[in-house]
Amino acid sequence: MPAVSATTPTIRKTALNAVHRKMGAKMVEFNGWDMPVEYPSAGGIIAEHNAVRNGVGIFDVSHMGDIRLQGPDALAAVQHISMNDASRLAIGQAQYSALLYPQGTFVDDVIVHRLGEDDYLLVINAGTREKDFNWVRDNTRQFKCKVENLSDDFTQIAIQGPKGVNLLQKLTDADLSAVKFYWVTRGSVCGLKNILIARTGYTAEDGFEIYVPADEATSATVWNQVLETGKEFGAIPCGLGARNTLRLEGSLSLYGHEISDTINVWEAGLGRFCKMEKPDFIGRAALETAKTAGLKRTLVGLEMIERGIARDGYKVQDDTCREIGYVTSGSYAPFLKKNIALAYVPPEFANVGSTVKVECRSQGVRAQVVSTPFYKRPKKS
Amino acid sequence: MPYPTDFKYTKEHEWIKVDGNSATVGITDHAQEALGDIVFVELPKPGTEITKGKTFGSVESVKAVSDLYAPASGTVAAVNGELATSPEKINKDAHGSWMIKLTLKDPNELNGLLSSADYEKFVAEEGG
């Protein structure tokens, strides 16, 4: 049992860092941030994961970044730098999208929110904040729009799970029943006026993300009030550990794992968010070529048949133990109670029902290709 | 959770309880706490020879994979099969959830291991 390494003092902290530590959270370094991985007092990763599936869980996701594009050419700029069709967005609507390199590979995946007539907010990943902002700024210079990095302005709190709506409704004057999934609104939250409320998340569950001012006192007040109000719904604080297993069950991509600067849109299976028929965008030409050339590898879902847990980076082999691909994310799935993984393999191994081996600590463990997402939330009756 | 005084401990966070020529091995409460929810345990088959300081298996939580290091050399006499289906028992009672029983090669090997007081001090110094 090697020692668990201590965190270094130079890394970044969210406004809620002291609150997490006070709650006894186990902290880890994630993409340069000192973040809670789990709250043992809340029951740990499995309990946190299942709270989100069955009730509600609360996450500090302030490490996520935010870029605002505002001005007469804001739509044209967003269209130029992202693969989904932002012209389809009504005011108050959001969409999953991605920023691409000219090669058709990923700068990052993003959620594009249309906040006003010519006003867009891109929510980006923690590990790619500076890279994304510089890239967006450099590639939108020809457009009449202001590009602002608002990453340090917000404490972003995710309230995730089927009871998230009941919880948040107690703290806001906004009518949440009128806010559909992937729509945003503004309202008072915990007495703070004009707070951005988005019905979005990264858990494959219904839920909300609220954007409150990033000062420590306000952030702590909101966090504590959300948890306190959430008690009757069984709300517990959740860390990055549960966030990862939740998104994995939902087959949601994580930058640096399923998507990166060497993986293209088709390989990642994200074609449905890429609108080739919209006006030209960065990466489009390369994607056109790649589509004609055909896939060399594709992302699949694996379920372990034999005993063993596939982990990020483990090799995937065919029946003759020839290396054919690699695992991008793998874990025990706390709600499904199975060992699952996402992996890149050649298309000939991608059919549902195909079997492969995952080299788990020098042992080939059999796994089966299954359809994704592994978990889909039940439709409301 | 108190560390039993009749156990010996390794700096890799295993415990061993000796009874004459045989011994029982598991991981410490500190180890299970550091790992979090344990979901998988890989242990050697009975009859396997293991060597002090070398890995003899692994334990995995949702987040982490850790090797198990043998506190002493010997032959595996028995394996706690219950842990294959209920690995979470280690979280609930690390010092009561034995992993393997060993027939010791040389009981003197245990002299270098930590006492419960030394181990507690070691864990505190490690910042755990």
The pLDDT of residue A8: 47
Tell whether A176 and A189 lie within a shared domain. Answer: yes
In a domain, A345, yes or no: yes
Tell whether A123 and A44 lie within a shared domain. Answer: no
A298 and A344 Cβ atoms separated by less than 8 Å: yes
Of residues A69, A119, A77, A87, the one with CA closest to residue A278: A87
* Contact across the interface for B13 and A1, Cβ inside 8 Å: yes
Average pLDDT across chain B, whole number: 95
* Confidence grade of residue A370 (pLDDT, cut at 50, 70, 90): very high
- Residues of chain A above pLDDT 90, percent: 96
Residues in A touching B127 (Cβ below 8 Å)? 6
* Contact across the interface for A332 and B62, Cβ inside 8 Å: yes
In a domain, A289, yes or no: no
User: Is pLDDT at A10 greater than 80 in this prediction?
Assistant: no
Residues in B touching A42 (Cβ below 8 Å)? none
CB-CB: which of A6, A245, A309 is closest to B127? A6
Phi, psi of B22 (to 5 degrees): -120, 165
Phi, psi of A291 (to 5 degrees): -65, -40
Residues in B touching A40 (Cβ below 8 Å)? 33, 36
What average pLDDT does the segment A62-89 reach?
Answer: 98
Minimal C-alpha gap between A49 and chain B (Å) = 11
CB-CB: which of A6, A45, A361 is closest to B62? A45
B16 and B48 Cβ atoms separated by less than 8 Å: no
Tell whether A45 and A71 lie within a shared domain. Answer: no
Of residues B71, B90, B72, B70, the one with CA closest to residue B80: B90
User: Is pLDDT at A7 greater than 50 in this prediction?
Assistant: no
Tell whether A49 and A95 lie within a shared domain. Answer: no
Residues in B touching A24 (Cβ below 8 Å)? none
* Contact across the interface for B12 and A1, Cβ inside 8 Å: yes
Task: Among B27, B62, B125, pick the best mutation site for testing chain A contact (most A Cβ within 10 A).
Answer: B62
Tell whether A235 and A341 lie within a shared domain. Answer: no
Q: Is B14 on the interface with A (CB under 8 A)?
A: yes
Tell whether A340 and A241 lie within a shared domain. Answer: no
CB-CB: which of A1, A245, A332 is closest to B14? A1
How far apart are alpha carbons B77 and B101 in whole angstroms?
Answer: 5
The pLDDT of residue A379: 80
| pTM to 2 decimal places | 0.94
The pLDDT of residue A361: 86
Q: How many CA atoms lie less than 13 Å away from B74 in the CB half-sphere?
A: 26
Farthest CA pair distance, chain B: 37
Among chain B residues, the shortest Cα distance to A361 is held by B58
How far apart are alpha carbons B59 and B39 in whole angstroms?
Answer: 8
Least trusted range by pLDDT, from A17-21, A137-141, B124-128: B124-128
* Residue A56, domain CATH: 3.30.1360.120
Tell whether A29 and A158 lie within a shared domain. Answer: yes
The pLDDT of residue A9: 54
Tell whether A182 and A98 lie within a shared domain. Answer: no
Of residues B86, B92, B96, the one with CA closest to residue B41: B86
**Which residue spans within A83-191 are E strands per DSSP?**
94-100, 106-116, 119-124, 146-149, 154-160, 184-189
User: Element (H or E) spanning A46, and its range?
Assistant: helix A45-54
- Tell me if residue A21 falls in helix, strand or coil: helix
* Contact across the interface for B27 and A361, Cβ inside 8 Å: no
Angle between helices A45-54 and A240-249 (to 10 degrees): 50
Minimal C-alpha gap between B67 and chain A (Å) = 6
In a domain, A266, yes or no: no
Both tokens of residue A78?
């967003």
Tell whether A161 and A238 lie within a shared domain. Answer: yes
Domain count, chain A: 3
Among chain B residues, the shortest Cα distance to A337 is held by B39
User: What is the spatial order of strands in the sheet that B55-61 belongs to?
Assistant: B38-42, B55-61, B65-69
Residues of A with CB under 8 A from a CB of B: 1-4, 6, 26, 37-38, 40, 44-46, 241, 245, 307-309, 311, 331-332, 334, 339, 361
Among chain B residues, the shortest Cα distance to A363 is held by B42
In a domain, A254, yes or no: no
Phi, psi of A214 (to 5 degrees): -85, 10
Residues in A touching B35 (Cβ below 8 Å)? 1
How far apart are alpha carbons A41 and A127 in whole angstroms?
Answer: 28
Residues pairing with A238 in the sheet = A59
| Boundary-marking domain end, from A249, A271, A306 | A249
Q: Is B55 on the interface with A (CB under 8 A)?
A: no
User: Is pLDDT at A269 greater than 80 in this prediction?
Assistant: yes
Range of the structural domain that residue A340 is part of: 295-370
- Domain B8-107: which topology? OB fold (Dihydrolipoamide Acetyltransferase, E2P) (2.40.50)
- Residue A348 makes CB contacts below 8 A (sequence gap 6+) with none
Residues in B touching A334 (Cβ below 8 Å)? 37, 62
Tell whether A165 and A221 lie within a shared domain. Answer: yes
In a domain, A280, yes or no: no
**Which residue spans within chain A are E strands per DSSP?**
26-30, 33-38, 57-60, 65-70, 94-100, 106-116, 119-124, 146-149, 154-160, 184-189, 192-198, 207-213, 236-238, 298-304, 315-317, 323-333, 338-345, 355-360, 363-370
| Boundary-marking domain end, from A149, A172, A196 | A149
Q: Is B20 on the interface with A (CB under 8 A)?
A: no
Minimal C-alpha gap between B73 and chain A (Å) = 17
Tell whether A158 and A218 lie within a shared domain. Answer: yes
How far apart are alpha carbons A67 and A61 in whole angstroms?
Answer: 15
For residue range A182-219, what is the model confidence (pLDDT) as tens digits?
999 999 999 999 999 999 999 999 999 999 999 999 99
Q: Which long-range contacts (CB under 8 A, 24 or more apart) does B10-15 make?
A: B10/B69, B10/B71, B10/B113, B10/B114, B11/B114, B11/B122, B12/A1, B12/A2, B12/B67, B12/B69, B13/A1, B14/A1, B14/B68, B14/B69, B14/B70, B14/B71, B15/B71, B15/B95
How far apart are alpha carbons B56 and A266 in whole angstroms?
Answer: 42
For residue range A315-356, what is the model confidence (pLDDT) as tens digits?
999 999 999 999 999 999 999 999 999 999 999 999 999 999
Minimal C-alpha gap between B34 and chain A (Å) = 7
| Boundary-marking domain end, from A233, A249, A265 | A249
In a domain, A45, yes or no: yes
DSSP calls for A225-287:
HHHHHHGGGT-EEE-HHHHHHHHHHTT---BTTTB-TT-BTTTTT-GGG--TTSSP-TTHHHH
What average pLDDT does the segment B8-29 reach?
Answer: 96
Of residues A25, A13, A113, the one with CA closest to residue A63: A13
* Contact across the interface for A3 and B128, Cβ inside 8 Å: yes
In a domain, A274, yes or no: no
Tell whether A57 and A187 lie within a shared domain. Answer: yes
- CA B46 to chain CA centroid, nearest Å: 16
State the residue for tokens 């009128």: A178
In a domain, A88, yes or no: yes
